[in-house]
Amino acid sequence: MKKEMFDELLESVKEAKAIKDKERAPSRTFLMQEPNPKEIRTKLELTQAHFAALMNISIHTLRNWEQGRRQPDGPAKVLLNIVAEHPEVLVKAL
């Protein structure tokens, strides 16, 4: 590894540690909107069973999300946000 690249990488690691230790603020943050599965499903005029099948999740998971007992996280949250903004993506999967 070239010395310049190593020095740049080392500086990045030091910056990450400073941010982790709250000694420095991050230069940018990313906020992901909390998706509303029931609103998304209703907008697409799909039943719970059909929406769950298209999302490849169990209907029980969808019901838990819709009733507020659980919240989607990770890839499910990302996919729901995509479907909310671009419903044609999910409709094409039909």
Q: Say yes or no: 46 and 5 in one domain.
A: no
Question: Six-digit token pair at 58?
Answer: 């169990």
For residue 88, the tally of other CB atoms under 10 A from its CB is 8
Q: Say yes or no: 43 and 87 in one domain.
A: yes
Q: Say yes or no: 48 and 85 in one domain.
A: yes
Q: Say yes or no: 42 and 61 in one domain.
A: yes
User: Which residues constitute the domain of residue 18?
Assistant: 1-29
For residue range 2-19, what is the model confidence (pLDDT) as tens digits?
A: 889 999 999 999 999 999
For residue range 8-48, what is the model confidence (pLDDT) as tens digits?
A: 999 999 999 999 999 999 888 877 789 999 999 999 999 99
53 or 91: which leads in pLDDT: 53
CA distances, 31 to each of 4, 23, 36, 74, 78 (Å): 33, 21, 16, 13, 12
Q: Say yes or no: 70 and 48 in one domain.
A: yes
pLDDT at 60 exceeding the cut of 70 = yes
Distance of CA 30 to the CA centre of its chain: 11
User: What secondary structure does DSSP assign to 17-39, as a single string?
Assistant: HHHHTTSS--S----PPPP-HHH
Q: Say yes or no: 61 and 77 in one domain.
A: yes
Count how many domains the chain has.
2
pLDDT tier at 94, thresholds 50, 70, 90: low
Q: Say yes or no: 59 and 22 in one domain.
A: no
pTM of the model: 0.66
